[in-house]
């Protein structure tokens, strides 16, 4: 159950603790007798309340129907707006709701606002000027929305105080589905100026699934969920699976390619970021100074057999570097950049044995190596080693075995480990045994520093990396080839582009290709074609694969967009 | 600082030694048994150790040491992580056995067996031949020499193989090993010991019947970790020997971590160590936290600054305010006078501790036997309650007293006797009077017993009277009278005495179980920073990330970031904005939409210079910032690239949609 936390981290953490607590309490029932009794008392109390709630249910339902009417009404009003007064007024209406007096109103507000961002995103192809006018507005709306959501969360935290959250959530569920309908609706946004009847119909349509959803879950459970956290969890679980059950995800279909913006490559990105001023530099510096004041304490605790792990938002690299330069200058230390994509435990161990212990020779397995290191460190008590690991939770070091080995290393009394973690699920790497080997002391060091180094090795979606390279190399290589060879490649590329919609396209079979080449008078025998293909393969322009039937398939290992660009360029040249 | 570190180390050592001591009784039981079990199929001991896996290493180390000392020199400890296959297992086993053999033989300068371990062909046969050669050697060559070094060793000592964590071994390896070794059992007396964390059923689940029938399993239950905890608390906290004390909240935190997270005694000890470190690091006056004998010396060596520190302590200020004015001035200005006073106060605290512990135990004797345990069953709960506030002001204590007033005599007498014993054994001399008083109560109870027999006679006679009067009116009258009299003289002598006893206990409690916060200079001895401890031991990285992303103002104290109602301003750091925006999305996020929303927000924030001519450049910068923020989110594990749809990322967390 720890997966779906994330956004409401603090609250969910509480819950996650809560459930095992009960289990544990059962285990130690004789031990913590008083506590169990208290719990029981609470439980019974909640059961009582639950009974009371059952009585109230009919009452509630009536109220809910009433609210739903109101909700539909507001939808109607909202639908009127864009037609009548344009976006300005709708914003004004939003503001009028901003001071919620009753919690019900807030729910309405939430639903109202939930539609707005979708609105200003979807229909902008046709109406650029309008969109421009809307920009500041929409940002405000966005924040209002956030505001509401956070209020909502606060409410949920205080759930046993008021009965509203449940209703709020149901509200939320409703606008959610409404949202989807909205996006569908706005996909055909040219008919936005329809009459309000239609819109209402859509909304009521969407309403019914939401309602059936609520009805499908047994009513007593729902009402209990208002009160008891666990039930709440169950409800959350339901929502989770609801969200993940539908294989179809409704998002807009726009892609970055249609988006008129050139992709940035790593270098320009870096330059651009350098030119952009870092916000709140002074505050960040203060924050870092606070952490730096802890350095001597860290030293003491490292020497007392603890190991230190740093967590919190922001790159902790600079902090650790500073620690290193200020305190570890005169001692043997090893810095491990965990974020480096090709780091392995083996390389870490090798650097210990070869550079720290001056041992020449290889080991059969990492376990042997660890044993050797352990022995050396035990024999020679004057040996001391500080190990600094940036990003202990990186892709390469995450594995069970590497963590085990690192933990064993860190448990040596003369190896002092100080590491940083960033991933939200990083603590899940360690089980009890490893935790006790590591003997962590946790330090929160939120720095807000950008993760410059750490992310530079990642293949970000937005950064154009291999694409530009591939294109330039394609052009480069092909220019050095004969005209016929270029023609052969073009043929293959065109064929591949034709089949780009077929995800299981295996490639062009050699025989077919030969036929096509012959028809285009590019080759005269399959030997020449093979020679040509070998040359392509040497330049990594194509890849050959043997299919299940033994036929050779040819494929250009470049993504479609690059290929299109390439063909366009070729056309220009010709 | 140096002295402090020394003290720390001392403490740690004593802790560790204690921990191993606590296992020893259980260990002896095992060793006895292994001696008896020598000639069966494969004698196997299954140790059920409980879920606190982290403590097991210590237990096993102790166990193997004891075995080595008392029974056999051939002990091998195997861990699952070292033995992925039967070959590795054998290798490991051979290595360990041979090396411990070398240890024994090194006295006699034997190096015949000292072949490089990696070269040996590891098989059962070689193991057996090795074993035979070793035993022969010990038997024939130097029996006299051997006797004194291993006089308690058996003629053909068994080879003990300990599987530390049976659950994590692969079944095949275990099965193979057992089958193979069972075939060689006649040549090689092998004893297996399984360490089990869950339940003994696991043996049968891991091993099929054909294999488990080769074993002769005896089950041992180790002490539960709770008992370890209470002994540790007993020995560390409830003594006056250690000058360092834990505050109520801190103790609560430690116990909660223990009970709700890991059941690991080792972690508890670690937490305790951390407390000591923190205390000595953060409290400049902790120099004075030492044994009684050293106080005088250290108090005199206090510098002026340290004296000022003492004056700044809140508890000391309270103390000063209570004194008359002359003494106040003296305390605040004269360093040497202050030192004397400090010494006196610290001695007071020491005495208070001695009294506190014994009275706490007495009270525990009373409360632990009451129905429903209003003050908790364990002494640690009582201790926490007493540390936190005045225990006699709590409701639970009230109900305790009420229940105590209803105790029957035998219970009461045994409790009083226990109390007397506790008080007698305690070192404080102040308790002579108390002991006398309690003994007085005891004799009074004995007197009562004598009286009671007489009383019984009286009541019998009255009943006889009752039987004599047969007519209705008289009967009614006498019954009424009886009732009346019973109501009035409700308090028999026993009851009176009982009240007296309870009141006396109550008085003792009020006198001695004052919470430590009320004592002057308690800051020196008590560690109370529970929040710090919690942060270091039981950290919540997710929460920290969440607050940093949702409420950057919490970390970056900038007015521009401050906004009401938990919202977020559009001037927040990029990653916060991107994070907030991504919360609004479902399972998949369209990057284009996301970028657009981001640039909208950022443009709004930079409105004044947005209309500058270099809008294209600004656009690029925003784009770059967005890319950075997104890749940071990816690093943090909130999103990952998705192949389901072009230019989409998948959300990895759930909750906002």
Picking from A393, A146, A528, the residue whose alpha carbon sits closest to that of residue B597 is A146
Q: Which of residues 265-304 of B touch A (CB under 8 A)?
A: 266-267, 270, 273-274, 277, 281
Does ipTM surpass 0.95 in this model? Answer: no
Residues B644, A34: C-beta atoms closer than 8 Å = no
CA A125, A131, A136, A141 dihedral sign is: negative
Rounded Cα distance between B657 and B646, Å, is 21
Q: Write down the pTM of the prediction.
A: 0.63
B63-67, B291-295, B307-311, B426-430: least confidently modelled range:
B426-430
pLDDT tens readout for residues A133-142: 333 333 444 4
Mutate: best of A41, A139, A427, partner B, most B CBs <10 A: A139
Strand partners for B246: B527
A527 pLDDT above the threshold of 50: yes
pLDDT tens readout for residues B86-101: 777 777 777 777 665 5
Mean pLDDT of all residues in chain A? 62
Least CA distance to A559: which residue of chain B?
B646
Contact B400, B461 (CB under 8 A): no
Residue B537 burial (10 A CB sphere; 0-12, 13-18, 19+): buried
List of chain B residues whose C-beta atoms are within 8 Å of the C-beta of residue A153: 566
Which residues contact residue B200 at a Cβ distance below 8 angstroms, ignoring those fewer than 6 apart? B46, B48, B219
List of chain A residues whose C-beta atoms are within 8 Å of the C-beta of residue B585: 251
B79 pLDDT above the threshold of 50: yes
A366 pLDDT above the threshold of 70: yes
Name which of A253, A424, A446 is nearest B542 (Cβ-Cβ).
A424
Residues B557, A34: C-beta atoms closer than 8 Å = no
Q: Does B630 touch chain A (CB under 8 A)?
A: yes
Supply the pLDDT for residue A471. Answer: 66
Least CA distance to B54: which residue of chain A?
A433
pLDDT tens readout for residues B494-544: 777 778 888 888 888 887 777 777 777 777 777 777 777 777 777 778 888
Q: Which of residues 1-30 of B touch A (CB under 8 A)?
A: 5, 8
A182-186, A336-340, A560-564: least confidently modelled range:
A182-186
Q: What distance in Å separates residue A544's CA from the closest CA in chain B?
A: 23
What number does CATH give the domain A281-444?
3.40.50.300
A39-43, B46-50, B353-357, B457-461: least confidently modelled range:
A39-43
List of chain B residues whose C-beta atoms are within 8 Å of the C-beta of residue A443: 535-536, 539
Q: What distance in Å separates residue A496's CA from the closest CA in chain B?
A: 18
Name which of A31, A276, A446 is nearest B555 (Cβ-Cβ).
A446
Least CA distance to A451: which residue of chain B?
B632
State the span(s) of chain B assigned CATH 1.10.10.
541-607+616-651
The domain segmentation of chain A, as residue ranges, is 281-444, 463-573
A344-358, A406-420, A501-515, B112-126: least confidently modelled range:
B112-126
Q: Does B561 touch chain A (CB under 8 A)?
A: yes
Angle between helices B574-583 and B591-605 (to 10 degrees): 130
Residues B584, A286: C-beta atoms closer than 8 Å = no
Supply the pLDDT for residue A53. Answer: 43
For A241-271, what is the HEC assignment?
HHHHHCCCCCCCCCCCCCCCCCCEEHHHHHH
pLDDT tens readout for residues A282-335: 888 888 888 888 888 888 888 877 888 888 888 888 888 888 888 888 888 888
Supply the pLDDT for residue B608. Answer: 53
Rounded Cα distance between A176 and B99, Å, is 68
B162-171, B356-365, B398-407: least confidently modelled range:
B162-171
Contact A15, A229 (CB under 8 A): yes
pLDDT tens readout for residues A416-445: 899 988 888 888 888 877 888 888 888 888
List of chain A residues whose C-beta atoms are within 8 Å of the C-beta of residue B555: 283, 287, 313, 446, 448
Q: Which CATH number fits domain B1-100+156-223: 3.40.50.300, 3.40.50.1220, 3.30.420.40, 2.60.40.790?
A: 3.40.50.300
pLDDT grade for A232, boundaries at 50, 70 and 90:
low
B169 pLDDT above the threshold of 60: yes
pLDDT tens readout for residues A238-283: 766 666 665 555 666 666 655 545 555 666 667 777 776 666 778 8
A357 pLDDT above the threshold of 50: yes
Residue B94 burial (10 A CB sphere; 0-12, 13-18, 19+): buried
Rounded Cα distance between A525 and B591, Å, is 48
Least CA distance to B552: which residue of chain A?
A448
Q: In this predicted model, which residue has the larger pLDDT, B577 or B113?
A: B577
Supply the pLDDT for residue A555. Answer: 79
Picking from A347, A278, A263, the residue whose alpha carbon sits closest to that of residue A315 is A278
Name which of B82, B226, B621 is nearest A276 (Cβ-Cβ).
B621
Q: What distance in Å separates residue B387's CA from the closest CA in chain A?
A: 18
Residues B260, A422: C-beta atoms closer than 8 Å = no
Helix boundaries (H) for A28-163: 33-84, 87-96, 103-121, 128-157
When pLDDT is averaged across residues B580-589 and rounded to a whole number, the result is 78
Residues B264, A432: C-beta atoms closer than 8 Å = yes
Q: Does B556 touch chain A (CB under 8 A)?
A: yes
Residues in chain B: 657
Rounded Cα distance between B250 and B237, Å, is 12
Q: What distance in Å separates residue A295's CA from the closest CA in chain B?
A: 13
φ, ψ dihedrals at A165, nearest 5°: -55, -40
Contact A264, A460 (CB under 8 A): no
Q: What is the DSSP string of B172-218?
A: HHHHHHHHHHHHTTTTS-EEEEEEESS-THHHHHHS-HHHHTTEEEE
Mean pLDDT of all residues in chain B? 70
Supply the pLDDT for residue A286. Answer: 84
Supply the pLDDT for residue A359. Answer: 77
Residues A462, B603: C-beta atoms closer than 8 Å = no
Q: Does B587 touch chain A (CB under 8 A)?
A: yes
Q: Does B636 touch chain A (CB under 8 A)?
A: yes
Picking from A358, A364, A355, A350, the residue whose alpha carbon sits closest to that of residue A409 is A350
The third-level CATH classification (topology) of the domain covering B541-607+616-651 is Arc Repressor Mutant, subunit A (1.10.10)
Residues A283, B557: C-beta atoms closer than 8 Å = yes
The third-level CATH classification (topology) of the domain covering A463-573 is Arc Repressor Mutant, subunit A (1.10.10)
Question: Chain A to chain B, count of Cβ pairs less than 8 Å apart?
Answer: 300
Least CA distance to B82: which residue of chain A?
A367
């Amino acid at each position: 159950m720890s997966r779906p936390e994330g956004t409401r981290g603090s609250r969910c953490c509480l819950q996650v603790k809560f459930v095992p607590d009960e289990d544990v309490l059962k285990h130690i029932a004789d031990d913590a007798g008083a506590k169990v009794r208290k719990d029981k008392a609470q439980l019974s109390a909640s059961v009582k309340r639950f009974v009371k709630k059952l009585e109230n249910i009919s009452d509630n339902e009536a109220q809910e129907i009433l609210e739903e009417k109101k909700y539909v009404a507001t939808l109607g009003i909202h639908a009127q707006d864009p037609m009548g007064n344009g976006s300005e007024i709708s914003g004004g209406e939003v503001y009028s709701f901003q001071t919620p007096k009753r919690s019900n109103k807030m729910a309405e507000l939430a639903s109202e606002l939930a539609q707005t961002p979708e609105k200003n995103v979807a229909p902008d192809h046709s109406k650029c000027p309008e969109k421009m006018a809307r920009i500041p507005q929409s940002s405000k709306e966005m924040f209002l929305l956030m505001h509401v959501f956070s209020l909502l969360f606060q409410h949920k935290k205080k759930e046993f105080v008021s009965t509203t959250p449940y209703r709020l959530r149901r509200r939320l569920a409703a606008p959610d589905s409404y949202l989807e309908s909205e996006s569908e609706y706005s996909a055909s946004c040219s008919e936005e100026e329809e009459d309000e009847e239609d819109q209402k119909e859509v909304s009521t349509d969407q309403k019914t699934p939401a309602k059936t959803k609520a009805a499908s879950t047994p009513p007593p459970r729902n009402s209990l969920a208002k009160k008891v956290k666990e039930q709440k969890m169950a409800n959350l679980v339901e929502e989770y699976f609801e969200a993940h059950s539908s294989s179809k995800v409704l998002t807009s279909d726009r892609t970055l390619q249609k988006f008129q913006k050139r992709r940035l490559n790593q270098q320009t990105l870096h330059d651009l970021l350098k030119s952009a001023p870092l916000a709140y530099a002074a505050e960040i510096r203060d924050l870092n100074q606070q952490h730096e004041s802890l350095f001597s304490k860290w030293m003491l605790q490292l020497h007392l057999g603890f190991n230190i792990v740093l967590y919190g938002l922001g790159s902790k690299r600079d902090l650790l570097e500073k620690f290193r330069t200020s305190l570890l200058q005169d001692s043997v230390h090893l810095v491990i950049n965990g974020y480096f994509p090709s780091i392995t435990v083996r390389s870490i161990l090798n650097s210990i044995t070869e550079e720290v212990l001056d041992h020449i020779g290889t080991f059969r397995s990492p376990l042997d190596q660890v044993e050797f290191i352990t022995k050396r460190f035990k024999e020679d008590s004057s040996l001391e080693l500080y190990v600094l690991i940036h990003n202990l939770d990186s892709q390469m070091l995450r594995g069970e075995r590497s963590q085990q080995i690192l933990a064993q290393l860190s448990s040596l009394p003369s190896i002092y480990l100080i590491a940083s973690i960033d991933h939200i699920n990083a603590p899940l790497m360690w089980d009890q045994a490893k935790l006790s080997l590591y003997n962590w002391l946790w330090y929160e060091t939120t720095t807000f520093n950008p993760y410059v180094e750490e992310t530079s090795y990642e293949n970000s979606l937005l950064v154009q990396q291999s694409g530009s390279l591939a294109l330039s190399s394609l052009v480069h290589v092909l220019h050095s080839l004969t005209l016929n060879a270029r023609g052969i490649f073009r043929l293959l590329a065109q064929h591949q582009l034709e089949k780009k919609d077929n995800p299981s396209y295996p490639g062009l079979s050699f025989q077919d290709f030969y036929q096509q080449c012959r028809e285009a008078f590019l080759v005269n025998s399959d030997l020449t074609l093979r020679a040509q293909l070998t040359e392509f393969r040497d330049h990594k322009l194509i890849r050959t694969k043997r299919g299940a039937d033994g036929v050779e398939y040819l494929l250009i290992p470049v993504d479609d967009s690059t290929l299109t660009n390439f063909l366009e360029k070729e056309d220009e040249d010709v | 600082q140096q002295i402090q570190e020394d003290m720390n180390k001392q403490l740690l050592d004593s802790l560790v030694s204690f921990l191993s001591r606590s296992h020893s009784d259980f260990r002896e039981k095992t060793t006895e048994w292994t001696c008896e079990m020598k000639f069966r199929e494969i004698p196997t001991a299954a140790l059920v150790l409980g879920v606190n896996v982290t403590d097991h290493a210590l237990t096993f180390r102790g166990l193997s040491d004891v075995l080595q000392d008392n029974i056999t020199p051939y002990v091998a400890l195997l861990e699952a992580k070292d033995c992925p296959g039967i070959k590795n297992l054998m290798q490991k086993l051979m290595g360990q056995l041979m090396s411990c053999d070398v240890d024994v033989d090194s006295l006699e300068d034997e190096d015949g067996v000292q072949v490089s371990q990696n070269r040996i062909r590891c098989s059962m046969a070689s193991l057996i031949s090795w074993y035979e050669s070793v035993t022969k050697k010990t038997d024939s060559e130097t029996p006299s020499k051997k006797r004194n070094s291993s006089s308690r060793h058996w003629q053909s000592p068994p080879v003990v193989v300990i599987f530390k964590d049976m659950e994590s071994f692969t079944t095949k390896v275990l099965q193979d090993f057992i089958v193979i070794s069972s075939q060689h059992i006649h040549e090689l007396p092998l004893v297996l010991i399984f360490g089990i964390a869950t339940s003994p059923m696991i043996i049968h689940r891991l091993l099929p019947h054909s294999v488990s029938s080769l074993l002769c399993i005896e089950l041992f239950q180790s002490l539960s970790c709770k008992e370890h905890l209470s002994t540790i608390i007993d020995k560390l906290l409830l003594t006056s020997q250690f000058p360092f004390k834990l505050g109520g909240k801190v103790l609560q935190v430690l116990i909660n971590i223990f009970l709700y997270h890991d059941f690991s005694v080792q972690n508890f000890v670690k937490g305790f160590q951390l407390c000591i470190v923190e205390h000595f690091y953060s409290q400049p006056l902790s120099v004075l936290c030492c044994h009684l004998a050293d106080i005088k010396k250290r108090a005199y060596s206090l510098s002026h600054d340290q004296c000022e520190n003492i004056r700044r302590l809140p508890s000391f200020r309270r103390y000063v305010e209570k004194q008359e004015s002359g003494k106040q001035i003296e305390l605040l200005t004269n360093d040497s006078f202050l030192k004397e006073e400090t010494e006196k106060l610290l001695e007071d605290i020491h005495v208070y501790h001695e009294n506190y512990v014994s009275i706490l135990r007495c009270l525990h004797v009373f409360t632990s036997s009451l129905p429903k345990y209003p003050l908790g069953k364990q002494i640690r709960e009582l201790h926490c309650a007493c540390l936190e506030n005045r225990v006699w002001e709590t409701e639970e204590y009230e109900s305790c007293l009420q229940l105590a007033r209803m105790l029957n005599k035998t219970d009461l007498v045994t409790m009083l006797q226990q109390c007397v014993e506790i008080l007698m054994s305690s070192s404080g001399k102040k308790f002579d009077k108390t002991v006398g008083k309690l003994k007085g109560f005891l004799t009074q109870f004995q007197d009562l017993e004598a009286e009671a027999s007489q009383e019984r006679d009286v009541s019998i006679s009255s009943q006889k009277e009752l039987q004599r009067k047969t007519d209705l009116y008289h009967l009614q009258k006498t019954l009424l009278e009886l009732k009346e009299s019973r109501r009035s003289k409700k308090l028999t002598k026993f009851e009176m005495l009982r009240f007296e006893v309870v009141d006396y206990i109550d008085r003792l409690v009020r006198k001695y179980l004052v919470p430590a916060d009320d004592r002057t200079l308690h800051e020196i001895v008590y560690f109370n920073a529970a929040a710090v401890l919690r942060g270091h031991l039981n950290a919540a990285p997710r929460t920290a990330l969440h607050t940093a992303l949702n409420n950057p103002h919490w970390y970056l104290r900038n007015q521009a970031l401050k906004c009401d109602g938990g919202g977020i301003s559009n001037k927040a750091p990029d990653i916060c904005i991107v994070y907030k925006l991504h919360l609004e999305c479902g399972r998949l996020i369209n990057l284009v939409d996301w970028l657009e929303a981001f640039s909208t927000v950022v443009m709004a924030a930079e409105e004044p210079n947005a209309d500058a001519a270099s809008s294209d450049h600004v656009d690029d910068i925003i784009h770059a910032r967005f890319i950075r923020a997104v890749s940071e989110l990816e690093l943090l594990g909130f999103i990952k690239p998705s192949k389901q749809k072009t230019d989409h990322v998948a959300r990895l967390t759930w909750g906002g949609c």
